[in-house]
Amino acid sequence: MSQSDPVIEAEYLAQLPLYLLLDARGTSTDRNDLIDGAVIVPVEGWVDAARRDATSFDNVDYWGEEFAKLGLSSQTMAVVFDDGLMTEAARVWFILQFFGAKALVLNGGTASLATERASIPVPTPQNTMPFQASYNAGPVGLVDRHTLKDNLDTTTIFDARTQAEFKGKDLKSNARGGHLPGAKLLPHSDLLKSGNLRSPSDSREMLSAIGFQTGDHLVTHCDGGGRAALAAIAAVRAGYEDVDVYYLSFSDWAKNESCPVK
């Protein structure tokens, strides 16, 4: 595992001195399917909060309080998992790292945990300090609609949606369909193989094949944030160092008529 790799395999969990296992499957997870020692992330609430002006990512205090509810400390590594689709784990990872938390995504989700059943260290409060959230403190940044619109000509856009969405055949709940000018499509499902994120070398080869270069400023997006976060993880694993996420994504872009759509 590289120090810059945002993904961890279950077999390496035991090498972490202290970590907090976060379950990103949502608050509706079947209680019979809970993982011992894991803390459930209220993903549904986080999705809604990110879209509201009062609790958007600009509200650092709100998100700091959310992290405190999880028991996150400044010394703890957050290890996030989901059901293996990887998108919700990636979403939670993006939010955590954006505010400066140390976070990793568990490759393979619950299936990998079931295989390894690694022991889960319990945080020791006397040796930890409360986590202090800071805006835009992580390796992957955030882009809003206005900034992206103003910089379309100098931004390489990584569209992680499906081909049907890209072509405007699947509108989701949007009034308009299609894609951002100049965007390159690499569906998030192609980044996965048998429920695991592809290796850094495979990801690098796939991104290179559609025209991305390692020095590019990449901005990932999907329709609502999760797939965009997963695309950012794949880009970071592939060696791209200038990666941002347009978290509100195409649903935010399409509703503004001044934003061009192909």
DSSP-derived secondary structure for 30-76: -GGGPPTT-EE--HHHHHHHHHSSTTSTT-HHHHHHHHHHHT-BSSP
- Whether residue 130 is predicted with pLDDT greater than 70 in this model: the reply is yes
Model pLDDT, residue 114 = 77
pLDDT value of residue 245? 98
Q: Residues 160, 231: contact at Cβ < 8 Å?
A: yes
Identify whether the C-beta of residue 184 lies closer than 8 Å to the C-beta of residue 212.
yes
pLDDT of 71 reads 92
pLDDT averaged over every residue in the chain = 92
Judged against a pLDDT cut of 70, whether residue 118 lies above it is answered with: no
Predicted local distance difference test score (pLDDT) of residue 126: 46
| pLDDT tens digits, 163-172 | 999 999 999 9
Query: Which letter does DSSP use for residue 121 in this model?
Result: P
Query: What domains, with CATH codes, occur in the chain?
Result: 7-127 (3.40.250.10), 141-254 (3.40.250.10)
Checking if the pLDDT of 197 tops 80, the result is yes
C-beta of residue 217 within 8 angstroms of C-beta of residue 197: no
Contact criterion met (CB below 8 Å) for 43 and 88: yes
pLDDT band at 129 (very low <50, low <70, confident <90, very high): confident
pLDDT surpasses 70 at 31: no
pTM for this prediction = 0.93
User: pLDDT grade, residue 4 (50/70/90)?
Assistant: confident
| Percent of the chain residues past pLDDT 90, beyond the cut | 80
Asked if residue 230 has pLDDT above 70, the reply is yes
The mean pLDDT of 52-58, rounded to a whole number, is 97
Mapped onto helix, strand or coil, the DSSP state of residue 174 is coil
pLDDT above 70 for 119: no
